Amino acid sequence: MSQRIRLARAKDAQAIQDIYAPIVSHTPISFETTPPSIDEIQRRIEHTLTKFPWLVYEDADRLSGYAYASQHRTRAAYQWAVDVSVYVHEQSRHRGIGRRLYTALFQLLRQQGFYNAYAGITLPNAGSVALHEAMGMRPLGVYHKVGYKLGTWHDVGWWQGELQPHSNNPHAPKSMAEMDIFIWEEHIL
């Protein structure tokens, strides 16, 4: 069976929507209330890839999961921090796909020059908490009753991971355009 992690492409939008739409529609995991259209997902992929990685996991020519990074905050002093997210198709969970995606994502983020990764998790979500903590992330705190969805208020816990030791003279992180990303196009697991 062929498995690989590669950079997302606009043409992956339908498969990404297939993974994400049920999460949006039926769970509080995402605070979006309406699944984004395929065109919107294509726009998000293209926008994200200008600066940050968006990776997909292919399993026998089927997209089974994806992970991406995004800007943590807009002020210049935050430029070395990213927010990270991972989603795995409900039929592919508990197979280590999320961990493999995060491992590849974190490696690429280190190469770009990022130092901290943050993740927000709607609580309770034992599987997501376990994954993030297995990746070395530690809990920071909880926003209590911060989001209302599916008829109830939800807490969001925040986790932080150090991607690499901090420098006292950090260089600005590289954009995806500045990276030699050829190896990510055909990264075989």
Tens of pLDDT along 102-154? 999 999 999 999 999 999 999 999 999 999 999 999 999 999 999 999 999 99
* Burial of 126 from C-beta contacts in 10 A (0-12 / 13-18 / 19+): exposed
Residue 134, beta-bridge partner list: none
- Confidence grade of residue 182 (pLDDT, cut at 50, 70, 90): low
User: Do residues 73 and 58 lie in contact, with contact meaning Cβ atoms separated by under 8 Å?
Assistant: no
Query: Which strand (E) or helix (H) includes residue 55?
Result: strand 54-59
Residue 188 confidence (pLDDT) above 50: no
Please determine, for residue 160, whether its predicted confidence score (pLDDT) is greater than 70: yes
Q: Tell me: pLDDT of 53 over 60.
A: yes
Cα separation of 52 and 42, whole Å? 15
CATH of domain 3-180: 3.40.630.30
pLDDT at 60: 82
Tokens found for residue 161: 């991971």
Helices (H), the chain: 13-26, 38-48, 97-112, 126-134, 182-185
Per-residue confidence band for 91, with pLDDT thresholds at 50, 70 and 90: confident
Encoded amino acid at 98, one letter: G
User: H or E segment at 146?
Assistant: strand 138-149
- The pTM for the full model equals 0.93
Task: Report the Cα 37 to chain-centroid distance in Å.
Answer: 19
Question: Is the model's pLDDT at 37 over the cut of 60?
Answer: yes
Whether residue 183 has pLDDT greater than 80: no
Tell me the two tokens of residue 35.
């699944």
